Amino acid sequence: MNSPITKQFFQSRFLRTFEKDKLVVLFHQLHPEPVYLLKTAWQSITDSLTSGLLSNWMCNIVSELISRKLFIYDSNSDQRELEIARKRALQVLDRPTILYLMMAQGCNFACNYCPFAKRYGEELLLFDNAIAGITLWQKQIVEYLQDDNSYFLIFYGGEPLLNREVLERLLPYITKEQSIGRLPKNLELMLCTNGSLIDKPLAKMLAYHRVTVAIGEDGPQEHNDNVRITKDGSPTFNIIRDVIKQLVKNDVRVVASVIVTPMNIYHLAEYSKFLKDMGIAKFGFNLIKGEALVRALASSGISIEEYHRMAARGILSGLVDMEENGQCYEYQLEKKIIALRNGLPFSVDCTCYGNQMVIQADGQVTNCPFLRFDQGHVRELSDTFKIARTDVVKKWRHRLPLFDDLIMADNKNNLLDGGGCAWNSSELYGDITAQDTNNAIFTKEIIHELIWTLLSKQQANALLKRETTYWSYRRIGSL
């Protein structure tokens, strides 16, 4: 039985489709709550739209697509949805959820991909400047202190433990500030380190103050020691392995940062088991960026585009580690899955778009640890200073497709590319506003696959067996 269309409608310019096997997923780029159905069913619907008649089963699906704004009646509907999405995104980006304290510029390692290896000096962050940075951050987050969101205070470098004395003075200060309610209740302290300077007394102190230790660990010994070396050229794997054992023994939560290199890119699927066996609680793959990536790939036979595609495929192999509660062992995948589940228009690749404030070792305030646009000395900025309101952050936000009117006017562009990295664009193209095209390839491939994780095997089988006509995230339509 056919039903006439009682009111004219048409596809939203934000409707996107991905195909896999015999299924297709439809989603709205501004609030991706996917709808899954058979490819043949979707083809039948699109063919029937030209005739103006839809069968009853088609009407059910079309009603769902209209409710998701994938089909629209009003030509102004897309613009209204864009304005809503921008407002919602700004609410997320304006939250200063991260404070970086750059404890030291120098490092006792000389990893061949590190941005600090050759360009930075040996300056250490003064205790008073660190306190001023914490105080400035407190004034920015005071309106959010009662919510349940997570906040992060990160000790970074260079190698932050070159400034161990200041770190040991800061930890009790921070613990006290949190105990009296001047820092968020859901505050995670994180020390990003190569681990070589950690001893038993420090491990115990880190455990006492509940500091998560993020250690650079680039895989098995052969892979790690090819790129992660000391200044005198010595290998580091055994050092890193031993300190991880010591931290785990002292009940310190240890996470790992793994750089994707031309050597390990063929073995990424093996890393989850390897790191779990070492006692790592969670890890994240990170891509080499800028000039360091060009140097790393020079003799590898891998192009920059191939590197990003291979990295995406390797990281996606970690989907087998998805737990029943939907959490993922690898951080890159987990944060993008969370964005999809929350209906966000994209998972932003970088937190420099307003979410973080950085106190550099010389006391200058920036929004990025690597690419410096100094906003003033931390002890000289006014009490009303907000990193999200600075001109550099406003400029960087136009890197995000959601805030680029030219991209919004082009129906072929995809909003799910995450914006990439301004530092990468600066080094590769000489312009911080240039599109990070290769990172976009990486993020799009990740999202293309992750969107299928919202469809369970049971639901997919029901569609394939025609037991349901469609399945939508949070809703089910059946025959």
> Per residue of the chain (479 residues), what is the pLDDT tens digit?
444 455 678 899 999 999 999 999 999 988 888 999 999 999 999 988 777 678 888 988 999 999 999 999 998 999 999 999 899 889 889 999 999 999 999 999 999 888 765 556 789 999 999 999 999 999 999 887 667 788 999 999 999 999 999 999 999 999 999 999 899 989 999 999 999 999 999 999 999 999 999 999 999 999 999 999 999 999 999 999 999 999 999 999 999 999 999 999 999 999 999 999 999 999 999 999 999 999 999 999 999 999 999 999 999 988 876 655 567 899 888 888 888 887 776 678 889 999 999 999 999 999 999 999 999 999 999 989 999 999 999 999 988 888 877 766 665 556 667 888 999 999 999 999 888 888 888 988 888 888 998 898 999 999 999 999 999 886 444 43
Indicate the domain borders of the chain. 2-77+455-478, 88-393
Identify residue 358 by its one-letter amino acid code.
Answer: V
Q: How many CA atoms lie within 13 A of 456 on its CB side?
A: 9
pLDDT at residue 417, rounded to an integer = 74
Say what the pLDDT of residue 476 is: 47
- What's the rounded Cα separation, in Å, for the pair 391 and 274? 44
pLDDT at residue 349, rounded to an integer = 84
**Spatial distance between the Cα atoms of 472 and 28, rounded to a whole number of angstroms:** 12
Residues 419-452, buried b or exposed e (16+ Cβ, 10 A)? Answer: bbbbbbbbbbeeebeebbbbbbbbbbbbbbbbbb
3-state secondary structure 113-134: CCCCCCCCCCCECCHHHHHHHH
What does the radius of gyration of the chain's CA atoms come to, in whole angstroms? 24
Residues 6 or more apart in contact with residue 105 via CB below 8 angstroms:
116, 120, 121, 122, 123, 124, 157, 158, 361
Cβ proximity of 354 and 387 under 8 Å? yes
Residue 413, pLDDT score:
54
pLDDT of residue 145: 67
The pTM of this model reads 0.91
**What does the alpha-carbon distance between residue 53 and residue 277 come to, in Å, rounded to a whole number?**
59
pLDDT of residue 477: 46
Provide the CATH topology of domain 88-393.
Answer: TIM Barrel (3.20.20)
